[in-house]
Amino acid sequence: MKKIGLIDYYLDEWHAHHSFETVKAYNEKNNGDFAITAVWAETDKPGGMATDEYCAKYGVEKCASIAELGEKVDYLIILAPDNAEKKLGYAKQAFKTGKRVFLDKTFTKDYASAVEIFKTAEETSTAFFSSSALRYATELAPYNGNAKSVFVLGSGASLEDYAVHYLEIIIKMMGVGAQKVRHEQRGNQEWAEICYEDGRKGTFAISMAASYLDFAVFVADGQGDSAFLPIVSDFFGEQMADILRFFETGETSFDGAETLELMKVRDGILKSKAEDGAWITL
């Protein structure tokens, strides 16, 4: 059995629950032998399921520290999806264990912390990567870095937590090289424009509050031909398959420069919002 450990701020959250389903589905489809066997969480969710209850529900071991967790598993997944400010500290501890690590979205709180995580990984010779599950939507496959224009729309709870999903799609489809960004508030919608050095443009619009929209992409390819792509594929399953492949091989499926680019663009968009929609040069 290949043992996986979860690191979280608190475990009573969607990703920590759903991970068991996606690992099981991968095993059944690929005759795999991965299992989440142990966890560590910094705290319990107020009014929610405690770590002890979580462990009893899923039959996993509670560890007293990340160091202990690293001794009892083969690989580590850092969750804390709504607590990006915790990721740098968790990553530094996880990298000390010598295990391969996946960091769930949002990668960390800002670009400076992202650079520090990459630096720490290099210093500790740790193989790791981070991605939003939206990168793995199969609808995006024909546009690996070569799209001329991308417009992504969907829903979210906050710009800080959800921008990463939209930027993951844009950067996967358009690649690195963003030059400047701008935020615009339109009612309960958060809009952002990303301009590339070669004149290409990416845009996203996030509907907040109760106005729910499924993810969709309007894209022009390198020749300018357009397509509208509702995102309906099993991107969470595809993401877990890539995580487990990485755990076995230590090889990532895309360049970490895209993750750093995403964080830099995200910082610029948040700064633009704070400055009433000013253009921010990256």
- Look at residue 222 in the predicted model and tell me its pLDDT: 87
Using an 8 Å Cβ cutoff, are 34 and 244 in contact?
yes
- Look at residue 209 in the predicted model and tell me its pLDDT: 76
- Look at residue 224 in the predicted model and tell me its pLDDT: 85
Coil vs helix vs strand at 138: helix
| pTM for the predicted model, two decimal places | 0.96
Calculate Rg over the CA atoms of the chain: 19
Using an 8 Å Cβ cutoff, are 181 and 195 in contact?
yes
Helix H or strand E encompassing 62? strand 61-62
CA distance 93 to 24: 27
* pLDDT tens-digit map of 229-267: 999 999 999 999 999 999 999 999 999 999 999 999 999
Q: Which amino acid is at 202?
A: G
- Look at residue 212 in the predicted model and tell me its pLDDT: 84
**Which residue stretches of the chain have pLDDT < 70?**
210
Q: Quick one: tokens of 259?
A: 């993750």
Helix H or strand E encompassing 36? strand 34-41
- Look at residue 211 in the predicted model and tell me its pLDDT: 73
- Look at residue 12 in the predicted model and tell me its pLDDT: 98
Using an 8 Å Cβ cutoff, are 22 and 237 in contact?
yes
Using an 8 Å Cβ cutoff, are 118 and 96 in contact?
no
* Selection from 4, 103, 102 nearest residue 58 by Cα: 4
* pLDDT tens-digit map of 34-48: 999 999 999 999 999
- Mean pLDDT in the chain? 97
- Look at residue 176 in the predicted model and tell me its pLDDT: 97
Using an 8 Å Cβ cutoff, are 280 and 182 in contact?
yes
- Look at residue 249 in the predicted model and tell me its pLDDT: 97
**φ and ψ at residue 137, rounded to 5 degrees:** -60, 125
